[in-house]
Chain A
């Protein structure tokens, strides 16, 4: 494929009509959370766009983010997006290996210096000089610093590269950090989620191609169009929360009636993501629709934010340890109280009851 061709020229070569392209843009506008009327304007802008070079680096990760994108249920959309970019390096997807693979990264960096997009999934371990994860004998830290220098912008895909993710969870033996902890002089977009919604990755790339800029970002550098509201804000069970109707266990009458899962530990009220509207598995459902609360995977430190089944209204700190600490300090009454509380907690756990702040 010739790099100097515009998208409309390439599509015409492939026999894709303008109407088909307009349909594609309608779907893009929908997943970019833009007004559907903007599809025609998008089609005009995208048709004139040139193919940018993209270097994709995978560090301390599980490949779930790449799986999310490549196994998505809208392959036509995603494959068209891949048609719009020149993916010059992705060590999981590319056919080349060894020196040839590394050469393609170096060539792209040299030929498109200052213009290429750098996509990163996975956190970067920095303990021990970064030895916990290496590619071609070089640390992730070294590769990131080198590749980031000539990037026009960086897209951190997944919670690991956005905020450190699971590798960063206590006790974080590898010293895992986010891209933004290392690179401070480049625009960074965080597409958090474990994994992130595939259409959000596509949408951000499409935004860059359409408008030539990065989308509007929130205080954690996430695109506002997807992370501007909480799961709770857009949840179809929200009216039940407002009415005070809560499921108390996963098999009670409230759960069967589809009531709010707040008391079962749903992290929807503090989690910013588009799951409630974009949904998963080709728009089939999302965790809450399947009867389980949100885990909050697109938020920083979600793995260390207490039990997935503890209501948000309950404190995250270790109450038991705090109370025992007070007891050791000489508060005799506290000793008796903490003992009573622990018994109550144990009984509640055995009986599978929901605890409130008052109980604790």
Chain B
């Protein structure tokens, strides 16, 4: 028996579909509607959902990629991508080894993690003032 004679049966997409993607897209639409009407942001934690194998990739395909992407380096990288639907962001946090530690869909005008934090701004201002005083001397 040659390897070529082994029959290969391609499974249809429906064979493993259990309906999570449609449910998720419906929830995203509802959150996006809230953002649009009331400027109310929302999040979906993908780690807490019982997705079937392959559904994660299907969700990626369904949401696609939009115009904006950003990368943060803070105790490991973070990847922020605006999806094909403005206001819907895919935020993935990795640790320094490259494992995913949090995977979220954030429905907001700007994801929270991108904003400068007040504590960091205070510390940065102090550093800048020190620098200025050194330059003055």
Contact = CB atoms under 8 A, between A and B. Distances in A.
B50 A277 contact: yes
Contacts of B112: 22, 39-40
A77 B74 CA distance: 13
Looking at chain B's contact residues, is the secondary structure mostly helix, strand, loop, or mixed?
mixed
Nearest to A36: B43
B93 A23 contact: yes
Interface in B3-47: 15-16, 18-20, 42-45, 47
Interface stretch (A121-129, A235-243, A313-321): A235-243
B75 A23 contact: yes
A173 B51 CA distance: 43
A257 B15 contact: yes
A9 B112 CA distance: 22
A235 B116 CA distance: 39
Interface residues of B, number: 41
Nearest to A279: B47
Nearest to A242: B18
Contact of A276 (B20, B50, B95, B106): B50
Nearest to A235: B50
B101 interface: yes
A19 B44 CA distance: 20
B119 interface: yes
A278 B53 CA distance: 14
A23 B78 CA distance: 9
B120 A17 contact: yes
11 contacts: A16-B74, A22-B113, A29-B102, A30-B45, A30-B48, A31-B47, A36-B102, A73-B97, A235-B50, A236-B51, A277-B49
Given A8-B119, A74-B99, 11 more contacts: A19-B74, A22-B113, A23-B72, A26-B93, A30-B103, A37-B42, A73-B97, A75-B96, A75-B97, A235-B50, A277-B48
Interface of A: 8, 12, 16-20, 22-24, 26-27, 29-31, 33, 35-37, 39-40, 73-77, 80, 234-240, 257-258, 276-278, 282-283, 289
